[in-house]
Structure 1
């Protein structure tokens, strides 16, 4: 896991459902969005560096660029602190409650340990081994680098309860040191990875995989609903092992997740195209990483330029940021698996300066798609069939 799994963001043939979709509020938890506190102008370079490092293997960026990005991030730590992005909620481990980011872009569970005495740990909830009768130490050391910081610690095993679902013997990280100031002012205590097992940095089965293997959930998928940018509250819902049919209209359409280096590591899909005002832009052979830790859609400079040629009144300012009219009426749709998903016009811009929700910063033919798209769909992530399903959200 990279922290690049935390900001801005994080993240998805036919999918066969063993039983009919149901509204399972008992298996759902409320998640709350952490929103950026700076303008896009102030953090644009930061975002690009962040995602370059988060997905450095997939983007295959050269080492000089990675080193430069890491240096810039380390020098902008104050900006980093106030611009974590993502959705957090509550869970318990060893009967101790924590606030955690539920992150599509990572695959590990970790929380601060009582043995971490740094300020960034002391102002958050810390796991106390002596308070859990079900805790078992493992002691395998781990270190996870986050560009502008890092965490180190050892592994342990305990029972996890989230959304009314309990799993036994989950391996997780007990952080003993937080290097840098990255976590000092965050609203969450730790990270709860929702990715694939192959992406685990502590070499553990993910919490959701354990739910499936232990039959704590009926189905091997989870659903995510995010409020659109013009909604109030900046909240969402994570439903484990079921589908909340009250959150979408029509049918869910499923698409195969792509592998990377022969393994399922990230929620990656093929993207057919984008249409603007009924005109297809003729993008070919594009793929996208889906990440709830990202507000925007990042593309290569060439693709972002093509996109904005079709957005009436768009322009590229001196800071390298695209802006669009605040009252834009353009009709934008992303075409995935032959299905068009319309984007609410409020999601074509972001911030008071009406920056475009599509910005340059992706790598080659790989896009990074965040809430500007995901807030318009109900999405379902299947870890056994390796598919992602989308349906338009209920309005």
Structure 2
């Protein structure tokens, strides 16, 4: 997430109600939006990588309620700031009347929305778009305090509610926090805040998340949202910002995956994180023994970059990798292995097994011959899942998060999707304001309206499926002419 030229780059970010609504008089719709992907420069010292790794592991444990940590899940929405990050993924929302666009981290590991406020004087708020309540005629101040504590800082402010638009949909009276205090390094230009995409049950504000209001109100063609994430890992040519893929609300984008979507239900009554039960893991072709029951539960988290799990199972994964060894000091909980080794790891969640690419398994290169693995050991809190499965896995699949029945699905990426990996020629989208296909009240019924907002100066947006198809077509052409 946040980066600084003098500090290791922040990695992961995470944060991660049913609303009874009248049926829409006209058919619901589905829209897509482009994601941006922040990729950090690859030139970094071993000490920098060690500091990044230590912060990453510590922050994930803090996010998921490790009782030995100062931070607790109950303190609020959890944004994981991890320095020297490989990447984070964010899209754009528009807030207020008239609407103003903001970039926000998209996090399936939390459930609250917050933005840096106009009155924020913290260094973290310098140079980014901030929300000014007095500039929106539809803003309502709830006058309720809000505070979020993370492994590397905190944000605090006041809850309010306003019109929030995303990917062509609109929710009135959406509750979110306007933060006037943000710890250093929690935000990095152009990101202005975070959008939680998990269930209301873990929302610090107690409010229905934007996505859940839309899904429960029959605004979408299908009650689901989906991600395709790009890969620029270990790409020395990648800039600070690269095209990041596509986030789709209300439908799946068939141009981005092939074959069937393998859905597996969230355990009954466990609608909090997007939980999946790990049924198998293999390392270098050998099966890894996985504990059963709650010890096999994993949070599927777009806001976390790597993969954390129980110490015993993680150690078993590396035991099959020749000449791997446990890290020490700041690299405690991580493992090193020869960069020349091609690592083959798969994961399954009750159905099909999914391979993690060698490029994604190689989290960092510590030296000419030694690399850092993307799996690390961690101890989560009693109310959090034992495994946290982040972008190391998700970049290898098309992922679908379905509201009803509550489940997570994965599918094979299409050639068009794969062609975007490492393609630095793709346009980098900017925060945009599009037309709202549906307006839903976060506190009541849904109405079908058209909000023809004036577009921003940004040149790139996926506010329509037609434009999305054009982007995919151009990607396929580039793929034909250029080897990725």
* Shorter-chain TM-score tier: 0.7 to 0.9
Partner of 1:361: 378
Distance (Å, rounded) in 2 between the aligned partners of 1:117 and 1:325: 46
Does structure 1 conserve the Cα–Cα contact (< 8 Å) formed by 2:264 and 2:351? no
Of stretches 198-207 and 165-174 in structure 1, the one that deviates more from structure 2 is 165-174
| 1:135 Cα deviation after fit | 2.1
Distance (Å, rounded) in 1 between the aligned partners of 2:224 and 2:175: 20
| 1:102 Cα deviation after fit | 0.9
Taking structure 1 as reference, are residues 119 and 49 closer, same or farther at Cα in structure 2, changes over 3 Å only?
Answer: closer
Partner of 2:449: none
Partner of 1:291: 301
Partner of 2:346: 333
| 1:317 Cα deviation after fit | 4.2
Q: Determine which of 357, 365, 386 is the counterpart of 2:406.
A: 386
TM-score (norm 2): 0.68
Taking structure 1 as reference, are residues 236 and 362 closer, same or farther at Cα in structure 2, changes over 3 Å only?
Answer: farther
Compute the RMSD of aligned alpha carbons. 2.9
Of stretches 330-339 and 369-378 in structure 1, the one that deviates more from structure 2 is 330-339
Alignment deviations for residues 118-161 of structure 1 (CA, whole Å, 9 cap, x no partner): 44334321222232232223222222222432222222221111
Taking structure 1 as reference, are residues 119 and 325 closer, same or farther at Cα in structure 2, changes over 3 Å only?
Answer: closer
Contiguous gaps of at least 5 residues in structure 2 = 1-9, 17-27, 73-80, 419-484
Taking structure 1 as reference, are residues 362 and 84 closer, same or farther at Cα in structure 2, changes over 3 Å only?
Answer: farther
Partner of 1:203: 206
Partner of 1:220: 223
Q: Determine which of 392, 402, 408 is the counterpart of 1:372.
A: 392
| 1:328 Cα deviation after fit | 2.6
| 1:306 Cα deviation after fit | 0.6
| 1:324 Cα deviation after fit | 2.6
Alignment deviations for residues 291-327 of structure 1 (CA, whole Å, 9 cap, x no partner): 1222221122221211111123423344433123323
Partner of 2:103: 99
Partner of 1:238: 247
Does structure 1 conserve the Cα–Cα contact (< 8 Å) formed by 2:326 and 2:336? yes
Distance (Å, rounded) in 1 between the aligned partners of 2:360 and 2:126: 38
| 1:98 Cα deviation after fit | 0.7
Partner of 2:160: 156
Q: Determine which of 134, 137, 141 is the counterpart of 1:137.
A: 141
| 1:7 Cα deviation after fit | 4.1
1:110 corresponds to 2:127 = no
1:255 corresponds to 2:255 = no
Q: How many residues align?
A: 361
Does structure 2 conserve the Cα–Cα contact (< 8 Å) formed by 1:197 and 1:265? yes
Does structure 1 conserve the Cα–Cα contact (< 8 Å) formed by 2:229 and 2:245? yes
Of stretches 189-198 and 357-366 in structure 1, the one that deviates more from structure 2 is 357-366
| 1:229 Cα deviation after fit | 4.7
| 1:108 Cα deviation after fit | 0.9
Alignment deviations for residues 15-65 of structure 1 (CA, whole Å, 9 cap, x no partner): xxxxxxxxx997111112334666542222211210111001xxxx44xx2
Partner of 2:124: 120
| 1:382 Cα deviation after fit | 1.3
Alignment deviations for residues 259-282 of structure 1 (CA, whole Å, 9 cap, x no partner): 6xx552111110011123432223
SS of residue in 2 equivalent to 1:130: helix
Partner of 1:87: 89
Taking structure 1 as reference, are residues 201 and 11 closer, same or farther at Cα in structure 2, changes over 3 Å only?
Answer: closer
Distance (Å, rounded) in 1 between the aligned partners of 2:64 and 2:106: 18
SS of residue in 1 equivalent to 2:260: coil
1:280 corresponds to 2:287 = yes
1:9-48 counterparts in 2 under 5 A? 9-10=13-14, 27-35=31-39, 39-48=48-57
Distance (Å, rounded) in 2 between the aligned partners of 1:41 and 1:82: 9
SS of residue in 1 equivalent to 2:191: coil
Contiguous gaps of at least 5 residues in structure 1 = 1-5, 13-23, 71-78
Partner of 1:17: none
Taking structure 1 as reference, are residues 281 and 177 closer, same or farther at Cα in structure 2, changes over 3 Å only?
Answer: closer
Of stretches 278-287 and 219-228 in structure 1, the one that deviates more from structure 2 is 278-287
Alignment deviations for residues 103-125 of structure 1 (CA, whole Å, 9 cap, x no partner): 11111111122233444334321
| 1:370 Cα deviation after fit | 1.2
Distance (Å, rounded) in 2 between the aligned partners of 1:222 and 1:196: 13
